[in-house]
Structure 1
């Protein structure tokens, strides 16, 4: 059985590890290539785009993929919809592996936004020194006229692409999780942060910033994650995804036996 994982996440790497341990499964992970030095998963790896829905459909057919698993970042909306269309066209079962989103706790002061643009519009009334943890690709959203009086500490794995707009008053912090609670506390204090902006990525690796903000009584702007394409089965852990693949494999074996 050939499984293609659209990966790049911690969950995608864990799933590849689980499947790679099964000699009956060939696992290929596809990484978008947006991170300069990605952490490579077990098994075969390809890096780069497919060329849209048609390119992914042709790849699924040419490489005889039996199961497609979308284990991309919860905010990788474009590839998720491409995966749904390509899987339907190639008649390949599709799973979406999504870590659960964060849930507010007592003492949290969350402000929910439906987009980065809405998050940017909320900031002037919430604070002046912003800890921005939404990634390098969204920095230009916070470079508009309304941000002139704001100062940003922007954390991302890689620097923004040359020529793309960034906030006028910004310090760039290049770092990769997981992050510690002690480290996040020190970051908020050291830079006198008074508002945090984050995407609802979920997971434990970057959650300590939420605890640190709660302890400090800071408002947090949380950007809501986009929906999974309609009709796609969602699993919430690598183990659940691996079990689903095993079920699919067993069904294929049973069908082969029946045909004999």
Structure 2
């Protein structure tokens, strides 16, 4: 049995590819999205109870290998997976889509975390398109002089910026629609999630010459890494 720590498009693609090859798979979702897109095969929802709880799950379910295909900013589960794999001597692969790279015409600024992004933001614009996820919104809640167009999948909990408009939507997004939204703002704030599903906003920002404030990915441990689903499939099959 292979455990996929999921919640991403790559995780769903991997579950489908392995199931097609008759490799038994269980996909684990954190349960933070109200209506998640479910992968094929067996699915469990919810946390494990830290690295020790995950290690217990690996032992009890005789997991032969783990693929961490969570979001690039899912730091906690990533760290827990590393520790649990060490405790149980279970092979672990990190499936991580490449980050975005600037191209000609891009006006990008980088922040190490959301707090630094909030400090940099007032110098970049007064009207902000904020797509950094609902859990990070409190980092911007004190910026009363700015107006925010906030996009999330699910309704966020307070605190939120005082002056804001909320859009609830799930990607993928089209460039034309992103261009319309960005026409209302001065600056785009997002995380370096990578991938094509939400990259249309970067194309639209380039076309409109709007600056982008990107939050760098957190550092991960030296876990073996695959950049694509086919690479991850080969890794699993060789196990």
**One fold, TM greater than 0.5?**
yes
1:142-173: CA deviation from partner (whole Å, max 9, x where unpaired)? 012xx111000110100113xx3110001110
Distance 1:19 1:88 in 2: 24
List alignment gaps of at least 5 residues for structure 2: none
Bigger Rg over Cα:
1
Asked if 1:207 corresponds to 2:199, the answer is: yes
Deviation (angstroms), 1:44: 0.3
Matches within 5 A, 1:11-90: 11-23=10-22, 25-90=23-88
Deviation (angstroms), 1:22: 1.7
Match of 1:125 among 123, 127, 131: 123
Distance 1:80 1:71 in 2: 9
What SS class does the counterpart of residue 87 from structure 2 fall into?
helix
Name 1:216's counterpart in structure 2.
208
Match of 2:171 among 177, 182, 200: 177
What SS class does the counterpart of residue 176 from structure 2 fall into?
helix
Asked if 1:240 corresponds to 2:204, the answer is: no
Distance 1:137 1:95 in 2: 26
Q: CA RMSD in A?
A: 0.7
Distance 1:237 1:247 in 2: 16
Distance 1:11 1:246 in 2: 17
Name 2:155's counterpart in structure 1.
159
1:76-109: CA deviation from partner (whole Å, max 9, x where unpaired)? 0111000000011011000000000000001111
Deviation (angstroms), 1:187: 1.2
Equivalent residues, number:
239
Name 2:8's counterpart in structure 1.
9
Distance 2:128 2:28 in 1: 34
Name 1:254's counterpart in structure 2.
none
Deviation (angstroms), 1:133: 0.3
